[in-house]
Structure 1
Amino acid sequence: MQREGSPFTGLSTVALKEAADHMTSARMHLVMLLVILTAVGAIYGAIGQIKATIGEDPFLFLRLFTTAREPLPSFVAFLGFLLPLVGIALGFDGINGEYSRRTMSRILSQPIYRDALLAGKFLGGLMVIGICLVTLWLLVTGMGLLTLGLPPSGEEILRGIAFLIASLAYAGVWLAVALLFSTIFRAPATSALAALTLWLLFTIFWSMIAPLVAAIVAPIDPYDPLTAMHQVGVGQAIARISPNTLYGETTLALLNPSTRSLGLVFMSQLQGAVVGAPLPFGQSALLIWPQLSGLLAAMVVVYTIAYVAFQRQEIRA
């Protein structure tokens, strides 16, 4: 049976409705309050640390994101830990919540296809995360202007915008994961637990699993030193399956312009290079392009799996 009209009819309506529901929900208010409080604490500690540092830095504003002061970690470390929680909180009951409220058949009885419903829920959550990230970035910039008394340079603004895009892609991966589990499991508690389990696996245990798997897949031959480099390369490839690793490498290259490589570096590759000299933004963008592409690809792949699973489900009134 051929469908009539565009499958994305009503997409903007669903997306705006989801965004409005998220922005007014108590769950979102609590999560964002936690993010803002931790971000302000991290930036306050970073400002104190920067003021105590003697010497000029051409990228002073970027240090607001990366400088840590005991016992607080850096702003980037906080985002890497909390953004998956924000994405999971927005998406864990996106589909099964409609089943629980018995509103799914009512929604689909309107001239709205499943394509528009699932895409609208994803885009609505992504829109809310984007608004929150821009607000946080402006908050950090404003605090830096008030306390440091210096405006950010054009290079720092470009790197900050690229950092926002990478953070949005990272959060989008976990939003897609939460929607996938929301589609597979009918109980919201089960989908939330599954998403949190996967997050804990990648956040805490994956850095321990990757070297063990690499040692099994590519064992070291004591008579061949090249096997050691091969094992390190395999370990890095396995570690980059985790979105956390990809996001960490992306932010490292963007917010620390002196980063020249994200993998193994040989002495022959450093010949003629000024060690510690910052790279231009274009070179840093080329450096993080594989990692950023991996985040975007992971988001698309997970969303596609959720889309196929949702299309195959039987919906009854």
Structure 2
Amino acid sequence: MRGPLVYFKGLFSKGITHNILQQQPESPFRIMVRKETGDHVRSWRFMVMLILIVLTFLGSLYVSLNNINKAVANINDPDRVFVYLKLLTTSDGTLPTFHIFISFLGPLLGIALGFDAVNAEQNNGTLTRLIAQPVYRDNLLLAKFCGALIVVSVLFLCLALLMTGGGMIITGVLPEPAEILRILAFVVLSILYVGFWLSLSILLSVKFRNAATSALTIIGIWLFFTVFYRIIVNLVVNAMLPGTGYMQPGDLLSYNNLLLSLLRLAPSQLYTDAATTLLMPSVRSLGPLTIEQMAGAIPSPLPFKESLMIVWPQVTGLLAATTVCFALTYYLFMRREIRT
């Protein structure tokens, strides 16, 4: 009887050994992403930005709910049937709408999560020990970027679900499929917008050794594009304009197109144009229209696909800017000599 027992015992032990050998160890990239995500969630800077964004969201939602009846009852508004989109775009002037708040606070969130992503590791001496492990440098940068982007994605998705649930409880109206698609597209656009500033802040954290220098530089860039860039563009374009008595209608249209093209070099302008088109289905163009183009047009909401085609250049611009920043980050980090 010992022979069969020994035989089956040997098969059982071989099966366990085979299963243990088949289990692959967890990749270093996933470990680093999990570690970065946990560090961001537990950091005070993220807590402060979370409180600011949630408070602005609740304030905008409160103003929208107080004025939703007037917005829905306006028969001249072709978007009045989209109740949940009105929750994100309705305001009485006391507070801006939520996407305007995100265009201002979104860059600060990306800056807070990435301005010391690399130089803080190097100043603390942990970057040398990390690179000494069997970890690729590109995986380290990707983990820094993906960990922060996961936190941002969960934050915006939770806000969208909170808005949808609150709207269902208060209004008692179920969202239409087109509204759900537009809200999800707005969430993806907001994540992409914050991701651009996150990649730019990581780039400066690689470029500068001091975290304070990288923070001041990225905040200066944000202030330039948010405040001063529009003023400079308006001054330059107005200086190029001839007198009002010498302007033709075609010249005025070309100058308006030039002004819009220059303004769209700013990431905030790209985000605002795309968010407005997605949340307001009646928007048919992001540029000036002639009387001939508007002749015979019926004010009605556009399908989601056509609105997405209108904002595709803006989305492509944000994607390209994010890719360029991350490529420069990779180039600088790969050429850096890391010593103790």
Does the pair score TM above 0.5? yes
Q: Which residue of 2 aligns with 1:104?
A: 127
Q: Which residue of 2 aligns with 1:50?
A: 68
| Aligned equivalent of 1:153, options 176, 181, 198 | 176
1:182 aligns with 2:205: yes
Q: Distance in 2 between matches of 1:75 and 1:172?
A: 18
Fraction of identical pairs, as percent: 39
Task: State the Cα deviation string for residues 10-59 of structure 1 (Å, max 9, x = none).
Answer: 32222221111111212211210111111111101110011344627211
Q: Give the C-alpha shift of residue 272 in structure 1.
A: 2.9
1:207 aligns with 2:195: no
Q: Tell me the TM-score normalised to structure 2 length.
A: 0.86
Q: Give the C-alpha shift of residue 315 in structure 1.
A: 0.6
Q: Quick check: 2:71–2:90 contact (8 Å CA) kept in 1?
A: no
| Aligned equivalent of 2:294, options 270, 276, 279 | 270
Structure 1 runs, 4 residues or longer, greater than 6 Å off = none
What's the C-alpha RMSD, in Å, of the aligned pairs? 1.6
Q: Distance in 1 between matches of 2:147 and 2:182?
A: 26
Q: Give the C-alpha shift of residue 78 in structure 1.
A: 1.3
Q: Distance in 1 between matches of 2:144 and 2:193?
A: 17
Q: Which residue of 2 aligns with 1:20?
A: 38
Q: Distance in 1 between matches of 2:35 and 2:292?
A: 56
Aligned residues: 307
1:234 aligns with 2:263: no
Counterpart of 1:147, as a letter, is I
Counterpart of 1:252, as a letter, is T
Q: Secondary structure at the match of 2:73?
A: coil
Q: Distance in 2 between matches of 1:297 and 1:212?
A: 28
Unaligned runs of 5+ in 2: 1-26, 75-79
Counterpart of 1:96, as a letter, is N
Task: State the Cα deviation string for residues 261-306 of structure 1 (Å, max 9, x = none).
Answer: 00121111123320x2111111101110101111111111111111
Q: Which residue of 1 aligns with 2:269?
A: 245
Q: Which residue of 1 aligns with 2:156?
A: 133
Larger radius of gyration: 2
Q: Distance in 1 between matches of 2:32 and 2:184?
A: 28
Q: Distance in 1 between matches of 2:44 and 2:247?
A: 59
Q: Distance in 2 between matches of 1:67 and 1:53?
A: 7
Counterpart of 1:82, as a letter, is L
Q: Distance in 1 between matches of 2:199 and 2:110?
A: 8
Q: Tell me the TM-score normalised to structure 1 length.
A: 0.92
Counterpart of 1:20, as a letter, is G
Q: Quick check: 1:220–1:227 contact (8 Å CA) kept in 2?
A: no
Q: Quick check: 2:88–2:98 contact (8 Å CA) kept in 1?
A: yes
Q: Which residue of 2 aligns with 1:3?
A: none
Q: Quick check: 2:110–2:198 contact (8 Å CA) kept in 1?
A: yes
Q: Distance in 2 between matches of 1:238 and 1:213?
A: 10
Q: Which residue of 2 aligns with 1:94?
A: 117
Q: Which residue of 2 aligns with 1:6?
A: none
| Aligned equivalent of 1:285, options 305, 308, 326 | 308
Q: Which residue of 2 aligns with 1:5?
A: none
Q: Give the C-alpha shift of residue 69 in structure 1.
A: 3.0
Counterpart of 1:48, as a letter, is N
Q: Quick check: 1:215–1:231 contact (8 Å CA) kept in 2?
A: no
